Amino acid sequence: MEQTPHILVVDDHRDIRDAVSKYLVRNGMRVTAADGGPEMRAAIKNGAVDLVVLDLMMPGEDGLTLCRQLRETSDIPVIMLTAMAEDTDRVVGLEIGADDYVTKPFNPRELLARIRAVLRRVKAGTRPRDRINPGRTRFDRWVFDASRQEISAEDGIAIPLSTAEFRLLQTFLQRPHVVLSRDQLLDLTAGRAAQVFDRSIDNQVSRLRRKIEVDPKNPTIIKTVWGGGYVLAVDVEELT
């Protein structure tokens, strides 16, 4: 029998804390609520926490500060609660180690689905990496050179990447085997420059596939997940 997941909900608004906590409990999870950093740290110290739901905007120590502290001391997965206008902070949150985010106002069912998805990734060992090697990284038959903004194959011939292709490929390499939605890819690669109905990610993926896939129409490296987004479907190895 699987152990009941222990979720820590950190939000300075009591009504949100209570509503989220009650919903998660009704759906088979054990929940501890905290109104800020001190209670969050105490809860983590006092018992095993499987995942933290962390509000971005809080007085004093905000969500970014607390997420950064968590990443320095533990690998507990984090889902951030953000507001629509906080896209830059949302990107920063993902970059410093948050596993996912949910935008307020949100449907509790969406939050529950994202919690379960992140917990599955943790169990499968496919959580996003915080960083990749700033030098070279191998994936499939390619070597990605971050310092030169290029890729090369066994023949050693380098293929330059545009800035958009570089950011997109780097984002995938940081998160192998993790399904990324179009919105997440836009946040991680474009930030405030992204528009609500921007479909440029599809075009960028197509261009990148033409450079790295043997058959771009039947991709094996960057695969489409219908209804989900895209996934880097190969292993990643950091090179010295």
* pLDDT tens for the chain, residues 1 to 240: 457 899 999 999 999 999 999 999 999 999 999 999 999 999 998 878 999 999 988 888 888 899 988 888 888 889 989 876 556 666 677 777 788 888 888 889 989 988 988 888 777 555 555 444 557 899 999 999 988 889 998 788 899 988 888 889 998 998 888 888 887 787 777 643 444 344 578 888 999 999 999 999 999 999 999 877 899 999 998 886
Side chain identity, residue 11 = D
Instruction: Give the integer Cα–Cα distance in Å for 189 and 163.
Output: 10
Cis before 105 (ω within 30)? yes
State the CATH architecture for 136-239: Orthogonal Bundle (1.10)
CATH number for the domain running over 6-124: 3.40.50.2300
- Do residues 111 and 79 lie in contact, with contact meaning Cβ atoms separated by under 8 Å? yes
User: Which DSSP string do the residues of 125-160 spell out, in sequence order?
Assistant: T-PPPS---SSEEEETTEEEETTTTEEE-TT--EEE
What is the residue extent of each domain of the chain?
A: 6-124, 136-239
Beta strands 51-55 and 6-10, pairing class: parallel
- Whether this model's pTM surpasses 0.75: no
Order across the sheet with 100-104: list the strands. 30-34, 6-10, 51-55, 78-83, 100-104
